[in-house]
Amino acid sequence: MRKYDNLVVNSIGKIVPSEVNGKPETPFQGVGKYIPEGRKYGAPISSCTNYPSDGNKLIDSLKESLIRAGLNDGMTISTHHHFRNGDLISNQLFDIAKELRVKDLIWFPSASFECNSYLIKYLEDGTIHHIEGSMNGPLGRFTSQGKMRGLGVLRSHGGRYQSVQDGEVHIDIAVIAAPTADFFGNANGVDGPAACGSLGFALADSQFADKVIVVTDHLVPFPCLPWQIQGNYVDFVVQSDKIGIPEKIISGTTEITKSPDRLFLADLTARFCEKAGIIKDGFSFQSGAGGISLAVSLYFKEIMIKKGIKARFARGGSNKHLVAMLEEGLIDYIIDGQTFDLDGVRSMRENPGHTWSSPFTSYNYHGKGNFAGLVDVVILGATEIDINFNANVVTHSDGYLLHGIGGWQNCLFSKTVILTVPLFRDRIPVIKENVTTICGPGELIDVIVTERGIAINPLRQDLIDLTLNSGLPIVPIQELKNLAEKICGKPNLPNFTNEPVAVVKWVDGTILDTIWQVNESTNFIP
């Protein structure tokens, strides 16, 4: 018996559920086509009468705070992922839920990491019903195997803010692990032993959750400044011995790649940007934390020094290389959603030009604009790209859900979007006829840079013209696909059952694609 019968076809021809976890959903209607109606969600009105008159909201333990917050069956509990793989609180809170025999919780993290595969046992024993948020690695595989009771819901960082703001997701209890906080609940990520930089991913949670718990291992006297999280949204403050493992909070991906292939890719990307006239005085850019992206920044730096120009701003995730550019005067501002190393944390704490942002400012599509569209060029990756420039970042070619979306979808609104990818990985082509899952519609993706050539989206005739006699290896995307298949052979297609296990939302809350259960008995071995 199928668990999901209500399937419809959306505007890009993908079959998606019209109902997810009991709630009706809107299928994707095209980029910019769905216009929301109605009003933002209004959290319950509080009264100071019900809070300590001296501002002291300290509670003895996380358990006690969860009880006082009314933890109960079926509630939605949110956490943030600023501690990445060093998170100690998310798992702990479900230990408490288990101890209290609470069932069927919905976990709504801003992302999950390897360390959270600890929670599989709670998905199995009924403590957690399902997860709405990125499911990297083992949690993703568990989901792809059809073992999670509810449907996973994958949202971009901006989409997560949008879903909470618009009332699509109602958070009963937000648990915000905070590297520094005061007894009133003001909190930040720039100080303390578990310093992680920003707390922006918890902003929506603080603003809209019914109950908000701040957990800290570094309590300071009021006022805790900066107050990235404002205590006026906070119900309880809990002191904990240790909220994160500092060495795991840092992503470990801020080393420049040493691979000649990847350095070549990065250099080619930078050269493309130079030839296309993107690297000019006052420009702006965003490149991620992976080895290739970091290398791109350094090639940008070389070009900027050569040209004697500087950038107006760079978007983080920040790292030591970006911070160096800020401190050397090559960038006026870093606008930063998350810091990827301790130099990033230090800089956010010290440099007025290094400012923390949030999914609200940067990515929320249901705001009056957001920062994404102001960025001149963004360099991203992908697991797969098809010949119509549609791209995938969540599943692999064997069908397994193994990654979250992060800010990837949101960044597609940048003025120029470049996906820098190898033509194939482990002899599996990256450029394909069709992608397993569409996370980004091709119309928003401008350039694909591979080691075998650069494909420009035909929609960007301006870029085609600008690079016409540049000496760069510009090729049709079809050629890249053919070349990949020539080297690797025609790729196998994953074998799915007809059961959805998760959905991919677009930035406007509509459903862009479905992730299907992998039929492990018949699937190919990658």
Residues forming contacts to a second copy in the complex (CB under 8 A) are 32-55, 57, 165-167, 184-185, 212, 221-223, 225-227, 230-235, 282, 312-313, 333, 335, 352-353, 355, 360-361, 364-371, 373-374, 413, 415, 508
Give the up-direction half-sphere exposure of residue 378: CA atoms within 13 A in the CB hemisphere.
25
Minimum gap (Å) between residue 189 Cβ and a second copy: 16
Minimum gap (Å) between residue 284 Cβ and a second copy: 8
Minimum gap (Å) between residue 75 Cβ and a second copy: 18
Minimum gap (Å) between residue 131 Cβ and a second copy: 25
Nearer to a second copy, 111 or 224 (CB): 224
The Cα angle at residue 82 between residues 165 and 183, in degrees rounded to 5: 80
Characterise 457 by phi-psi region: left (phi > 0), alpha (psi -120 to 50), beta (else). Answer: beta
Nearer to a second copy, 85 or 286 (CB): 286
Tell me how crowded residue 125 is: count the other CB atoms within 10 A of its CB. 10
Q: Which residues of 84-117 are buried (b: 16+ CB within 10 A; e: fewer)?
A: bbbbbbbebbbebbbeeebbebbbbbbbbbebbb
Minimum gap (Å) between residue 57 Cβ and a second copy: 7
DSSP string, 176-228: EEESEE-TT--EEBSSSTT--B--GGGHHHHHH-SEEEEEES-B-SSP-SS-S
Question: In this structure, what is the dihedral angle of CA atoms 289, 112, 373, 200, given to the nearest 10 degrees?
Answer: -90
Minimum gap (Å) between residue 283 Cβ and a second copy: 11
Minimum gap (Å) between residue 193 Cβ and a second copy: 21
Nearer to a second copy, 80 or 366 (CB): 366
Nearer to a second copy, 90 or 357 (CB): 357
Nearer to a second copy, 170 or 425 (CB): 170
State phi, psi for 95 to the nearest 5 degrees: -60, -45
Enclosing H/E stretch for 371: none
Q: Which residues, other chains included, contact 480 with Cβ-Cβ below 8 Å and sequence gap of 6+?
A: 423, 431, 448, 450, 452, 453, 455
Q: Which residues of 481-492 are buried (b: 16+ CB within 10 A; e: fewer)?
A: bebbbeebeebe
Nearer to a second copy, 70 or 489 (CB): 70
Nearer to a second copy, 85 or 410 (CB): 410
Residue that the structure tokens 């997560």 belong to? 160
Q: Which residues, other chains included, contact 363 with Cβ-Cβ below 8 Å and sequence gap of 6+?
A: 156, 157, 158, 159, 161, 370, 371, 372, 407, 410, 507
Minimum gap (Å) between residue 169 Cβ and a second copy: 14
Alpha carbon distances (Å) from 446 to 10, 167, 314, 412, 435: 23, 33, 20, 9, 17
Characterise 264 by phi-psi region: left (phi > 0), alpha (psi -120 to 50), beta (else). Answer: alpha
Minimum gap (Å) between residue 236 Cβ and a second copy: 10
Nearer to a second copy, 340 or 413 (CB): 413
Minimum gap (Å) between residue 46 Cβ and a second copy: 5
Nearer to a second copy, 68 or 486 (CB): 68
Is residue 48 classed exposed, middle or buried when 0-12, 13-18 and 19+ CB atoms within 10 A define those classes?
exposed
Minimum gap (Å) between residue 184 Cβ and a second copy: 6
Closest CA to 397 of 292, 524, 503: 524
Nearer to a second copy, 362 or 437 (CB): 362
Minimum gap (Å) between residue 281 Cβ and a second copy: 11
Nearer to a second copy, 46 or 522 (CB): 46
The Cα angle at residue 14 between residues 13 and 19, in degrees rounded to 5: 125
Coil, strand or helix at 307: helix
Give yes or no for a contact between 214 and 234, defined as CB atoms under 8 angstroms apart: yes
In the numeric block, which tokens belong to residue 333? 């501002």
Minimum gap (Å) between residue 160 Cβ and a second copy: 15
Nearer to a second copy, 172 or 384 (CB): 172
Q: Which residues, other chains included, contact 41 with Cβ-Cβ below 8 Å and sequence gap of 6+?
A: 164, 165, 166, 167, 170, 208
